[in-house]
Amino acid sequence: MPSFDVVSEIDTQEVDNAVNQARKEIEARYDFKGSKSELQWDKKEITILSEDDYKMEAIKNILQTKLLRRGIDIKALSFEKVTEAGGRMLKQKVTLVQGIDKEKSKTLVQIIKDSKLKVQAQIVDEKLRVTSKSIDELQETIALLRNSNFEIPLQFNNMRS
């Protein structure tokens, strides 16, 4: 029976490349000369350190631009509140959202059910498996989910016929 998986994944190598590009731009920009602004990346989250709100927003914009150019959806980023880091520095953590949690999976299943397409959706760990007798129905389901503007980025893989 034809099926595909709905997942939410991030290519960490592309995130690493984007963070490195953002660091280089921050070092080269005139408005950051002499500042202690920096980006830290530890494979799970990105930490932005800066001296003031203006520089914090500028670093955030640089990072988002570099990630978009690398094909990483901005919906995959979860920005926490800006906190003080001591020494007149501000700090903001950016968490990378991967996988589809149970609540969001249930919402996706409900979207699929409400569409009245002849497909079955099943939650498997942090992904959603959609099966049907017709490949056309599966393709309509993919189009439906792409157009749903869901709060996390969705990818479709493991298409089997």
Phi, psi dihedrals of residue 150, rounded to the nearest 5° = -70, 155
**Structural domains in the chain plus CATH codes:** 3-8+99-160 (3.30.70.860), 12-96 (3.30.70.990)
Question: How do strand 3-7 and strand 45-50 relate by DSSP bridges?
Answer: unpaired
For the cut 90, the answer to whether the pLDDT of residue 59 exceeds it is yes
Q: How many residues make up the chain in this entry? A: 161
Tens of pLDDT along 100-121?
888 888 999 999 988 888 989 8
Q: Which helix (H) or strand (E) holds 107?
A: helix 102-114
CA gap 135, 3 in Å, rounded = 8
CA gap 143, 32 in Å, rounded = 43
Bridge partners (DSSP) of residue 124 are 127
- The pLDDT of residue 115 is 87
Mean pLDDT, residues 43-71 taken together: 92
CA gap 72, 91 in Å, rounded = 23
**Quick one: pLDDT band at residue 125, thresholds 50, 70, 90?**
confident
For 133-159, b/e burial (b = at least 16 CB within 10 A) is eeeebbebbbeebeeeebebbbebeee
For the cut 90, the answer to whether the pLDDT of residue 23 exceeds it is yes
CA gap 161, 159 in Å, rounded = 7
Mean pLDDT, residues 44-62 taken together: 92
**Quick one: pLDDT band at residue 88, thresholds 50, 70, 90?**
confident
For the cut 80, the answer to whether the pLDDT of residue 161 exceeds it is no
Tens of pLDDT along 139-152?
889 899 988 888 88
**Quick one: pLDDT band at residue 58, thresholds 50, 70, 90?**
very high
For the cut 90, the answer to whether the pLDDT of residue 158 exceeds it is no
Question: How do strand 120-124 and strand 127-131 relate by DSSP bridges?
Answer: antiparallel
- The pLDDT of residue 44 is 85
